[in-house]
Amino acid sequence: MQVMLLGRSLEERAKLKASSDMNELLSLISTQSRLVITSSDNNTAADSVLSPDSICINVPVDEIRAGDSLLVLPGETFPVDGSVLAGRSVVDESMLTGESLPVFKEEGCSVSAGTINWDGPLRIKASSTGSNSTISKIVRMVEDAQGNAAPVQRLADAIAGPFVYTIMSLSAVTFAFWYYVGSHIFPDVLLNDIAGPDGDPLALSLKLAVDVLVVSCPCALGLATPTAILIGTSLGAKRGYLIRGGDVLERLASIDYVALDKTGTLTEGRPVVSGVASLRYEEQEVLKLAAAVEKTATHPIAKAIVNEADALNLETPETRGQLTEPGFGTLAEIDGRLVAVGALEWVSRRFQKKKDSSDVVKLESYLDNKLSSTSSTSRYSKTVVYVGREGEGIIGAIAISDCLRQDAEFTVARLQEKGIKTVLLSGDREGAVATVAKSVGIESKSTNYSLSPEKKLEFISNLQSSGHRVAMVGDGINDAPSLAQADVGIALKIEAQENAASNAASVILVRNKLSHVVDALSLAQATMSKVYQNLAWAIAYNVISIPIAAGVLLPQYDFAMTPSLSGGLMALSSIFVVSNSLLLQLHKSETSGNS
């Protein structure tokens, strides 16, 4: 019973910590903001972020009101929800939409608190602040979903409580029956050794009553669940998936739907260079020029290009006069000539020589053929940046993609083999989501795109209302409400910024392997199988042994248990339960050779 109480207290402690840690989401929002103050009769030009007479004052975010004008510099997070008044930049919205590539923002575009401004300064008009901001709503949705989780029915606990009082009552009934009734109806029972040399009905009744007390085994009932749960959770931890409590294992074992996020779950979640094309130069030459231009830029596409050049040990040439135009590209001088990297139209306009449409078509065709011929499944969420040089125009193109995880297709196929239906829930655009779904084997009717965190939560809630047991697999803040709402939330642990997903989830894949979803399901099913075996044994043992201990075989077969035999059987019953649970350690991982 002490083991049960210890396990219960640890589970409650984990749940309380998971709920309170959701407040760490709010730390993503800056506590300070730059309030822009201008004269009332001044109209700032549309292409100017600040007017000459504007001043910026640092004020706490709590003091910002709807309608206030704020300045957000590159590298900063947006302190409030709002709309862009002036400036152009690209914004990392992965924490809300899951899209790994940055989104271009200009006048009139909406921005959300907690997202990151990458390139240029933006002046925004606050629309929602404090508890009304998008990220605050996510926190509330997570807390509400956690609070509405259905309690697990603990069969062993329900039986073990009344069991003791029932046995005491049966023992008293046994004594009364044999002392007042049984010894008179069946006088031959007094000849049994259990009645003593004098055939004393009092000795007979006392020994049979004690046999009932001793042979009954509430310990087996009490140990049936916690021993299997303890071994199952510890085995999972050793293999890299942390399972928060026995109730999670019970729900996980009965899952019939698995909802999967796209970016960071089925895909790696970070942009990488997936292809380089050039009609006149070596691919490495184009990559060297692009990496040199993008070396001091901070946005994800620039980092992907620089990382690829570093991985190939390419020496990048020196640059001068670097200039970045937010949302379009970067320009720098290399060996006396300007080199531009960015969007096609923007790069073409940088130079007098106009783009040759046939060359562009050839570059794109070459990239598509190259990506389709690779086995790296790296053509998803693809973005193409172009490289141009003064006097030559477009000289090459670089494809930036979010690669599919190596074990994504295997994981989906294995889940489907188990009879578990898989659905894809993503905030990304339709084309990228459909491509990933097709590649991993998820049907188009089970593919959902452009979903906000609220829509994901609503989708899972609808499945639950239809009687399904749903597991949600995600990795980002935008998945946190869905992870909390699902019967079982499974989070891939990638970066510290994504603690929100881990805090909302009840299973954490600490080794960041998607295939561990299959292992966790298999382990949960094996663990619950042991729990049911233990419960079946404990109940069957008591149903058979208690009547025998009460003397049901004594009149016809002259057989009665002794207190020492009863004690031995009781101990063996507990040993069987513990030993059967220990066999769970022999459970094999289903994906050890395929991860």
Nearest partner of 222 among 540, 578, 494, judged by Cα: 578
Which pLDDT does position 235 carry in this prediction? 84
Q: Please state, in angstroms and as integers, the Cα–Cα distance from residue 310 to each residue in 239, 268, 287, 440, following that order.
A: 33, 20, 10, 31
> What is the C-alpha separation between 524 and 253, in angstroms, rounded?
5
Q: Between residues 374 and 13, which one has the greater pLDDT?
A: 374
Mean pLDDT (whole number) for 557-581:
82
| Strand-pair partners of 241 | 509
- Written as one string, the DSSP assignment of 398-440 is EEEEEEEPTTHHHHHHHHHHTT-EEEEE-SS-HHHHHHHHHHH
Which pLDDT does position 306 carry in this prediction? 92
If one counts every other C-beta atom within 10 angstroms of the C-beta of residue 24, the result is 12
Nearest partner of 45 among 87, 90, 82, judged by Cα: 87
> What is the C-alpha separation between 25 and 497, in angstroms, rounded?
9
- Amino acid letter, 91: V
Across the chain, what does the average pLDDT equal?
80
Q: For residue 114, is pLDDT > 60?
A: yes
Q: Please state, in angstroms and as integers, the Cα–Cα distance from residue 524 to each residue in 41, 152, 236, 473, 569, following that order.
A: 67, 15, 9, 16, 30
Domain 30-76+78-132 = CATH 3.40.50.2300? no
Answer yes or no: are the C-beta atoms of 241 and 514 closer than 8 Å.
no
Q: Between residues 57 and 7, which one has the greater pLDDT?
A: 57
Q: Quick check: helix, strand or coil at residue 53?
A: coil
pLDDT in tens, 246-256: 788 888 999 99
pLDDT in tens, 179-238: 888 888 888 878 777 777 778 888 888 888 888 888 886 766 667 777 788 788 888 878
Hey, what are 149's tokens?
């989780």
Q: Which CATH architecture is the domain 240-266+406-519 placed in?
A: 3-Layer(aba) Sandwich (3.40)
> What is the C-alpha separation between 550 and 296, in angstroms, rounded?
85
Q: Pairing between strand 32-37 and 69-72?
A: antiparallel
Q: Please state, in angstroms and as integers, the Cα–Cα distance from residue 527 to each residue in 37, 232, 461, following that order.
A: 63, 6, 27
Would you report the helix, strand and coil content of the chain in percent, each value rounded to 5?
A: 50, 20, 30
User: Among the CATH numbers 3.90.1150.10, 3.40.718.10, 3.40.30.10, 3.40.1110.10, which is that of 270-404?
Assistant: 3.40.1110.10
What are 332-338's contacts with CB under 8 Å, separation 24+? 332/292, 332/293, 334/289, 334/292, 334/293, 337/389, 337/390, 337/391, 338/389, 338/390
Nearest partner of 570 among 215, 93, 114, 259, judged by Cα: 215
Mean pLDDT (whole number) for 492-501:
57
Q: Please state, in angstroms and as integers, the Cα–Cα distance from residue 389 to each residue in 156, 232, 293, 305, 394, following that order.
A: 74, 61, 11, 17, 7
Most confident of 52-61, 261-270, 286-295: 286-295
Residue 157: pLDDT band (50, 70, 90) is low
Where in the chain are the domains? Answer: 30-76+78-132, 155-225+523-586, 240-266+406-519, 270-404
| Strand-pair partners of 32 | 60
Annotated catalytic residue: which of 92, 261, 475, 519? Answer: 261
Would residue 261 show up in a list of annotated catalytic residues for this protein? yes
Angle at 109 between CA 103 and CA 110, to 5 degrees: 90
Report the helix count and the strand count for the chain, using DSSP H and E.
Answer: 20, 22
